[in-house]
Structure 1
Amino acid sequence: MSFSIVVDHVSFAWPDGTMVLDGLDAAFPAGRTGLIGANGSGKSTLLRIIAGELTPGSGSVSVTGEVGYLPQNVPLAGSRTVSDLLEISGKRAALHAVENGDVAEEHFTAIGDDWDVEERARAELDRLGLGHVGLDRTVATLSGGEAVMVALAAQLLKRPAVLLLDEPTNNLDLDARRRLHAAVSAYPGVLVVVSHDRALLGLVDQIAELRDAAVRLHGGNLSDYERQVAAEQEAAERTVRTAEGEVRRQRRELIEARTKLDRRGRNARKAFENKKVPKIVAGGLKMKAQVSAGKHRALHEERLAEARDRLTEAELAVRDDAEIRVELPGTAVPAGRTLLTLPLDRADRPDRPDRPDRPDRPDRPDGAPGRDGLKALDRLVVRGPERIALLGPNGSGKTTLLRRIVEHGAHVPVGYLPQRLDVLDDALSVVDNVRAVAPAASVNDVRARLARFLFRGSRADQPVGTLSGGERFRAALAALLSADPPPQLLLLDEPTNNLDLSSVRQLSQALAAYRGALVVASHDVPFLETLGITRWLRQDRDEGLAES
């Protein structure tokens, strides 16, 4: 098998000394590869090293062909335009100058053979569902999902031989996900994608698992990988049971051998004391018994040690993945109690009179209620302990609505986890970030809470700026749930972004047990369905908020 990407004994540590990769070897073949692993295992760091954004402390990376890279978080701030994000502003400026009669040589050099760059850019945006996004639009006005798709369009325009995607479905609505899946399926080059999106990982040719500082390739997609791992784990668990039985048997034989040898020694002493054997003979028997006892004890102890070694080896083959244990605050909210009343602007209403020609909307493709038959809302009322799902396409205003709730205020403490997790101070440690929102808690209490989120020992002292996306989510969630007073209304904006599959499951279980009120904006319908949603709301770009 030929490999397009070869990682040779690569090590990388952050400036504070936190080791991320240590002597890692990996090779990625042609085709589509899904790179998976626990949060914090180094997946994003590995992609950034392959892309040339980070320089390893040691080792080397070789890549066949040009590399394109879509980062996990696309910068939204500043005055950059869509054209800037597509990296075509220079060519567009040169084109416009030539069209206006300026025939300077530098314009032709800048354009090269790309005379149709604007047409190709608009066609790519349209293919990805962004036909409404103008090239001169400011990136800061885009939603998170729109920014991701524009950044993807930029990479597809460059047509690199190797394309690296880091959690590309974060913040994408269902239509955008389908378009991204289609783009991935049609991509002709080498592709490596880090994702927790099961549908996307179902499209890959192989799975590369980063685990225990090593990368292991599995042929097939995510389902094939899971079947293979399940079979391996079943065999490993059988081996552990066999090894445990052997340890018990060897321990029992050692005890029996010691008992038998002790009995012989007692018999020899009793015979001497009763004068049944001469002293010299008794001494010889005693020495012989001691030598024999030593040999037997050594033999059985050696067998027991070997059995324990086999058990240890068998146990190492069994996966024991650490999972977050989210313990939400005990903040029961009485049924029917009004927690929030938020008046909605005229522009938020789907039935507003200045839109009499509003066409009927088809049912949502995921099976939840569609626009038809939805009840227009002129205010949002939340009563405890409701569980509200907030749906809608990218750019429809879901994040804006959540922020308005925070700004408006509620009748109870509110906890807000934003989409971009920008509630933490990157310069502070995880411990200090949590202490900032829970000043009355002791350091030991804070560390105990953080241990439930897998920040143990020195990991809790790590600066937040060095955390992976999943680790940052865990830190933000720990701070949110440790706040004093604890939140009785949780607002979560795309909470499954950047989480590995086991962490999504743990978060689902924790939120399902939460006794306060929830408002969750998400495109992940299977995740929402695990929460026991009681109301489905839909936010549309032009028509506002409505309820089924």
Structure 2
Amino acid sequence: MSQPTTPAASLSCSALAFRHPDGTQVFDGLSLSFGRGRTGLVGTNGSGKSTLLRLLAGRLRPSSGSVTVDGHLAYLPQNITLDRDLRVEDALGITERRAALRAIEAGDVSEQHFETVGDDWDVEERALATLGSLGLGDVGLDRTAGELSGGETVLLRLAALLLERPDVLLLDEPTNNLDVFARRRLYDAVDSWRSGVLVVVSHDRDLLERVDRIADLRAGTVSWYGGGWSAYEEALATQQEAAGRMVRAAESDVRRQKRELEEAQIKVARRQRHNKKMDAQRRAPKIVAGGHKRSSQEAAGKLRGLHEDRLQEARERLDTAAEAVRDDAEIHVRLPATAVPAGRTVLTLDGLTPRFGSLRDAGLHVQGPERIALIGRNGAGKTTLLRTLTGELAPAEGEARTFVPLRFLPQRLDVLDDELSIAANVGRMAPGTTDNEIRAQLARFLFKGARAEQQAGTLSGGERFRATLAATMLATPAPQLLMLDEPTNNLDLASVRQLTSALASYEGTLVIAGHDLPFLESVGITRWLLVGEELTETTLDEVRELLDPGAA
């Protein structure tokens, strides 16, 4: 990765505020500074990570506050589209310099050509070297963007930014559409960043292991943690354990203050009854009895007020302690009907050539509750293979057969009807299941009580994924073959943990097309299939060797 050239490279914001056009407040008085080195910016879906990057990059105007950039800033947005007819040299921004160099080499010594080239006499060599470092060595400068895959387009745009020699580089979810091989190239680029400011928004744990610090964006504020993802998780676990102890202590204090308030009220009531009885026995004058009554009421009021104040303070301490505890609860659901006997044939491929992709004449036999990962380069046909197995796409040649009930969770999460509630969506996919049964299971997917009635169209990204997962896994007949296509793309890390815990309860056969190796390892993959011109069985160590020769 090209090194920054400005010694004072820095990035900061002061009292930053931003509202969406609908009035939703995202930031209100946010101040922070990014130091030299690599920073991973993390947070739940909807916390404002991408919005913050766009504000820092000048793509959005803050409601108030300021952004200060020392040095040249480059920004890689999450969604990249390039004109299919755009030449690679145009995408890299070097067309005019290449033309000027050619003219000079041909003997044209016009002053304009020298001004165009400036000091960048090796621009073509640098461009080819940068493309090569990102795995695009076979992409010529004269090819068009339309000839590249989606992942190659992302890397091409990154190459263009690196050629600018930025002092500050912002990357928004750069690995989302990259295959395992392209991800490795991007990891290498991040590894080689040694100075200047690099800020990367990501949920990719392998990428986040490569940063120097983690900035955790939550409720409009940022908390800092030294080290990469593992160090962050360890620190967070310690922090959450302490927060849990604080909550338990605060709950105990609230209970104690409630008891003391009740005891004080009982004592006051007893004292008032006793004083009233004594005044009656003494036949005290009304003015004396009234004085006793007022005095007793004043003392009772002070005592009650003291205990009520203490109870309110205890409740406030509990609220403060509870705010420090993250709502990253895991999904725990029992799905015994999904179990597949060890000897049951689940699916077979015989001479299969899907309609799209490079795969040809594939054969496969899957038996019992296997957990299979489909990996391969972008465009190899992993999604096409899954859609062929569902019956959505007819094969070009050969046959794909499934022998158990199956469900498919697509990348687009277009399973839900936005006009229906979560419970109604599940009921639509699980006819015959009672409303009570649906609600009991939805509670295990963290949709408790009235939350089950929330309209699907109003859900956040993470909530929508969880609702889609619930509708898919709770469908009837129970899916004994569950297929997922890039399930962790665009998921925050809390949602990834929830998906992992849900799949731990699944007893059927899993087939997952994905690039996220840490996630695939966490769900217990038993069989790795490399999708290319052939369907090749491999191992995790061999996959790692393909990504990083010599590292396995």
What's the CA shift for 1:192? 0.7
Q: Quick check: 1:499 aligned with 2:485?
A: no
Report 1:202-351 matches (<5 A). Answer: 202-275=209-282, 281-316=288-323, 318-322=324-328, 332=338, 335=341, 336-339=344-347, 341=349, 343-345=351-353
Identify the residue that residue 122 of structure 2 maps to in structure 1.
Answer: 116
Q: CA RMSD in A?
A: 4.4
What's the CA shift for 1:136? 3.4
Distance 1:439 1:104 in 2: 75
Identify the residue that residue 536 of structure 2 maps to in structure 1.
Answer: 546
Distance 2:23 2:181 in 1: 42
Of 502, 513, 518, which residue of structure 1 is paired with 2:505?
A: 513
User: What are the ranges of 5 or more consecutive residues in structure 1 without an aligned counterpart?
Assistant: 351-376
- Describe the SS at the equivalent of 2:489: coil
The 1:203–1:298 alpha-carbon spacing in structure 2 relative to 1, beyond 3 Å, is: same
The 1:400–1:27 alpha-carbon spacing in structure 2 relative to 1, beyond 3 Å, is: same
Q: Are the counterparts in 1 of residues 92 and 156 from structure 2 also a CA contact under 8 Å?
A: yes
The 1:457–1:53 alpha-carbon spacing in structure 2 relative to 1, beyond 3 Å, is: farther
Distance 1:95 1:481 in 2: 61
- Which one-letter code corresponds to 2:393 in the other structure? E
User: What are the ranges of 5 or more consecutive residues in structure 2 without an aligned counterpart?
Assistant: 1-7, 395-399, 430-434, 539-552
- Describe the SS at the equivalent of 1:254: helix
The 1:345–1:265 alpha-carbon spacing in structure 2 relative to 1, beyond 3 Å, is: closer
Q: Are the counterparts in 2 of residues 26 and 214 from structure 1 also a CA contact under 8 Å?
A: no
Distance 1:77 1:472 in 2: 32
Q: Are the counterparts in 2 of residues 453 and 478 from structure 1 also a CA contact under 8 Å?
A: no
Identify the residue that residue 76 of structure 2 maps to in structure 1.
Answer: 70
Identify the residue that residue 378 of structure 1 maps to in structure 2.
Answer: 362
- Describe the SS at the equivalent of 1:344: strand
Distance 2:346 2:373 in 1: 18
- Describe the SS at the equivalent of 2:393: helix
Q: Are the counterparts in 1 of residues 338 and 479 from structure 2 also a CA contact under 8 Å?
A: no
The 1:121–1:326 alpha-carbon spacing in structure 2 relative to 1, beyond 3 Å, is: farther
What's the CA shift for 1:389? 0.7
Report 1:356-371 matches (<5 A). Answer: none
Q: Are the counterparts in 1 of residues 41 and 216 from structure 2 also a CA contact under 8 Å?
A: yes
Map Cα deviations across residues 273-329 of structure 1 (whole Å, 9 max, x no partner): 44575665544433332222222222222222222222222322x223256859899
Q: Are the counterparts in 2 of residues 82 and 139 from structure 1 also a CA contact under 8 Å?
A: yes
Q: Quick check: 1:59 aligned with 2:74?
A: no
Q: Are the counterparts in 1 of residues 43 and 49 from structure 2 also a CA contact under 8 Å?
A: yes
Q: Quick check: 1:85 aligned with 2:91?
A: yes
Identify the residue that residue 393 of structure 2 maps to in structure 1.
Answer: 407
- Which one-letter code corresponds to 2:528 in the other structure? W
Map Cα deviations across residues 143-179 of structure 1 (whole Å, 9 max, x no partner): 4433333332222211101001122233445554444
Q: Are the counterparts in 1 of residues 372 and 512 from structure 2 also a CA contact under 8 Å?
A: yes
Q: Are the counterparts in 1 of residues 484 and 511 from structure 2 also a CA contact under 8 Å?
A: yes
- Number of residue pairs the alignment of both structures matches: 506
Q: Are the counterparts in 2 of residues 81 and 135 from structure 1 also a CA contact under 8 Å?
A: yes
Distance 1:337 1:269 in 2: 85
Identify the residue that residue 44 of structure 2 maps to in structure 1.
Answer: 38
Distance 1:501 1:388 in 2: 22
Identify the residue that residue 363 of structure 1 maps to in structure 2.
Answer: none
- Which one-letter code corresponds to 1:31 in the other structure? G
Identify the residue that residue 25 of structure 1 maps to in structure 2.
Answer: 31
Residue range with higher mean Cα deviation, 180-189 or 335-344: 335-344
The 1:310–1:348 alpha-carbon spacing in structure 2 relative to 1, beyond 3 Å, is: closer
Identify the residue that residue 359 of structure 1 maps to in structure 2.
Answer: none
Distance 1:26 1:98 in 2: 48
TM-score in terms of structure 2 length: 0.76
- Describe the SS at the equivalent of 1:242: helix
- Describe the SS at the equivalent of 1:40: coil
Identify the residue that residue 522 of structure 2 maps to in structure 1.
Answer: 530
The 1:15–1:349 alpha-carbon spacing in structure 2 relative to 1, beyond 3 Å, is: closer
What's the CA shift for 1:536? 2.0
Q: Quick check: 1:129 aligned with 2:123?
A: no
The 1:17–1:83 alpha-carbon spacing in structure 2 relative to 1, beyond 3 Å, is: farther
Identify the residue that residue 541 of structure 2 maps to in structure 1.
Answer: none
Residue range with higher mean Cα deviation, 393-402 or 322-331: 322-331
Report 1:379-458 matches (<5 A). Answer: 379-381=363-365, 386-393=370-377, 396-402=380-386, 405=389, 406-408=392-394, 415=408, 417-418=410-411, 421=412, 431=419
TM-score in terms of structure 1 length: 0.76
- Describe the SS at the equivalent of 1:407: coil
What's the CA shift for 1:537? 0.9
What's the CA shift for 1:40? 1.2
- Describe the SS at the equivalent of 1:209: strand
Identify the residue that residue 371 of structure 1 maps to in structure 2.
Answer: none
- Which one-letter code corresponds to 2:196 in the other structure? G
Q: Are the counterparts in 1 of residues 422 and 453 from structure 2 also a CA contact under 8 Å?
A: no
Distance 1:125 1:528 in 2: 29
Map Cα deviations across residues 47-79 of structure 1 (whole Å, 9 max, x no partner): 122122223333321211111112223326733
